[in-house]
Amino acid sequence: MSRARIAIAVLLVGAIALGYSFLRKDAIADSHRQARQLVLRYTLGRVNDPIIVLGDSLTEASTLPRSFCGHLVVNAGLNGASTASDLGTWLLEPLDGKRAAAILVALGTNDALLGRSTKSFEVDYLSLLAELAKVTGHLIVLGIPAIEIRGNVTTEIVAGAMSRIDGFNAALPALAARAGASFVPLPPMPTPHTIDGVHLDADGYKLWDEAVLKGVSSACGSR
């Protein structure tokens, strides 16, 4: 076999391996999404008037209390989720016509890391809130925590993502008002407040949890 043919063969093998890697990552993400939705179906099928916290891996990894002011707290976090992840359909299917006492939305970190524009973020966020408004009278939008230089999160990543996070946070109060939702800002975070630059450590979660519970307190007394 000529050197040219060998080189072409090597490139083809590399391309196939790379394609397989991407397909495998997509398959894993889809599998996780389905598994999380199934857990939500089992959970929401046995409770009424829950408080639901909808978000990405920050929510999924949180340890919020099981209940708050008489309502079960349901963790509807999905690793990798953004405002473009069709979370409205993903959540409303397992709710199966039931209503929630409150739904708090905590999204935006992945939108920033993916380089999405503020305009796209706003359009998708408003679309999501419109879907969620069909099943609750208490919608809450949570501010987005800062990321920081730690682990694999470099100075360049932080500079780009934080510019977008700042823009998103500036837009959220008016966006929430347009959707008939309440906005809850996050307080300043300590340094450090993450374990890897993105995901919160114990100190970060302490403030995050407090803000979440403050936000969903609008549902208290609704039973």
49-65 per-position pLDDT tens digit: 999 999 999 999 999 99
| Mean pLDDT calculated for residue range 132-157 | 97
Question: What is d(CA 153, CA 43) in angstroms, rounded to the nearest whole number?
Answer: 35
Residue 121 and residue 111 in contact, taking contact as beta carbons nearer than 8 Å: yes
Neighbours of 137 (CB within 10 A): 14
Q: Model confidence over 149-199: pLDDT tens digits?
A: 999 999 999 999 999 999 999 999 999 999 999 999 999 999 999 999 999
With bands split at pLDDT 50, 70 and 90, how would you rate the model's confidence at 29?
Answer: confident
pLDDT of 69 strictly over 50: yes
Residue 192 and residue 148 in contact, taking contact as beta carbons nearer than 8 Å: yes
Nearest to 223 by CA among 71, 97, 75, 74: 71
Question: What is d(CA 184, CA 177) in angstroms, rounded to the nearest whole number?
Answer: 12
Mean of all residue pLDDT scores within the chain = 90
Torsion of CA 221, 183, 213, 161, to 10 degrees: 160
CATH superfamily of 33-219: SGNH hydrolase (3.40.50.1110)
pLDDT of 21 strictly over 70: no
What angle, 0 to 180 degrees and rounded to 10, lies between the N-to-C axes of helices 118-132 and 155-178? 40
For the beta sheet containing 67-68, the strands, ordered from the edge strand earlier in sequence to the opposite edge, are 67-68, 71-77, 51-55, 102-106, 139-142, 182-184
Q: By three-state DSSP, how is residue 178 classified?
A: helix
Which residues fall within 8 angstroms of residue 52, CB to CB, at 6 or more apart?
73, 74, 76, 91, 100, 102, 103, 104, 136
With bands split at pLDDT 50, 70 and 90, how would you rate the model's confidence at 11?
Answer: very low
Question: What is d(CA 104, CA 119) in angstroms, rounded to the nearest whole number?
Answer: 21
